[in-house]
Amino acid sequence: MALNIQLGIAPIGWTNDDVPSLGGEIPFEQCVSEMALAGFTGCEVGNKYPKDPAVLKKALDLRGLRVANQWFSYTLSTDPFERVREEFEKQLDFLTAMGTKVVGGGECGNGVQCLEVPVLDRKVVFTEDQWKKVTYGLNELGKIARDRGIKLAFHHHMGTGIQSMEEVDRMLDSTDPENVFLNYDCGHFTFAGEDPVMALKKYIGRTAHVHLKDVRPAVLESVKADKKSFLDAVVAGVFTVPGDPDGCIDFPALFDILDQNDYSGWILVEAEQDPAIANPLEYAIIARKYIQQRLDALSLVKSPE
């Protein structure tokens, strides 16, 4: 069956919001121009993007790009709901102006993903009260987004309280499927020790946005052995793009699942690396060619909305 699949890429391969030294010298214009040159039609939002929707939309329109999604840092486990809601609605205003239909992000309250601590040893575990705050808050925010024609696609993430399949299960089981969806990320599931193919099979019915990245197993083993932080793992090159032979994820199996379940929406390459080592344009082209080959092999058709 022909599906409505759009291909995008995140700016995190050019400039890293959490590690500003990675790609700090690369300007916004180079980033989005190279995204378009590699053949992508969508992107996510980075810290160098213009904050004015009119300015950003003009820059993206010139390059045939759209904003597919934007990260939102939920702090529902630690901050008052009304404070989070206020910031969330501001982001919805921005996304509405950009014509974007997905709002992403993960729960960052008490998260260690940006701290210099061993990410695999310092697992965040929510208390029962925190779980209630997170799931209640996501459900309410998802309802607000839904009423504005936007899907809340929650991103499980290393170093946070929702990174394992067990935690994703609890989050999804405790929220309304009409309000809260999943931003599936095969790289984060792999990093967390989960089977990304099994995860996609399980969650495809709630998946509203897909992040594709690969994992270099040798680097992941060094992260475990040396007790590295998440950011140190990124700098060391734990992630790479689909199509890189250094990776280990079974992408053909993932595309089979997307095909068999008639997935429609964005597939975003989101593979943070050091751009001084992994040239962003080169790796974007590798990913774009590989993904299109997989889609063509399954007779999936990329068509605009």
Amino acid 300: pLDDT: 53
CATH for 250? 3.20.20.150
Q: Could you list the residue range(s) of the whole structural domain that residue 140 is in? A: 5-297
Question: Which residues are CB-neighbours of 246 under 8 A, at least 6 positions away?
Answer: 214, 216, 240
| Cβ(130)–Cβ(162) below 8 Å | no
The answer to whether residue 230 sits within a structural domain is yes
The answer to whether residue 179 sits within a structural domain is yes
Amino acid 59: pLDDT: 98
> Shortest CA distance to 48 belongs to which of 32, 68, 36?
32
The answer to whether residue 304 sits within a structural domain is no
The answer to whether residue 302 sits within a structural domain is no
Domains identified in the chain, total number: 1
| Cβ(295)–Cβ(1) below 8 Å | no
The answer to whether residue 278 sits within a structural domain is yes
The answer to whether residue 203 sits within a structural domain is yes
pLDDT tens, the chain, 305 aa long = 345 889 999 999 999 988 888 899 999 999 999 999 999 999 999 999 999 999 999 999 999 999 999 999 999 999 999 999 999 999 999 999 999 999 999 999 988 676 778 878 888 899 999 999 999 999 999 999 999 999 999 999 999 999 999 999 999 999 999 999 999 999 999 999 999 999 999 999 999 999 999 999 999 999 999 999 999 999 999 999 999 999 999 999 999 999 999 999 999 999 999 999 999 999 999 999 999 999 888 865 444 44
The answer to whether residue 303 sits within a structural domain is no
Q: Quote the pTM value.
A: 0.95
Residue 195 CB-density burial (10 A; 0-12 exposed, 13-18 middle, 19+ buried): middle
| Cβ(152)–Cβ(180) below 8 Å | yes
The answer to whether residue 27 sits within a structural domain is yes
Amino acid 296: pLDDT: 87
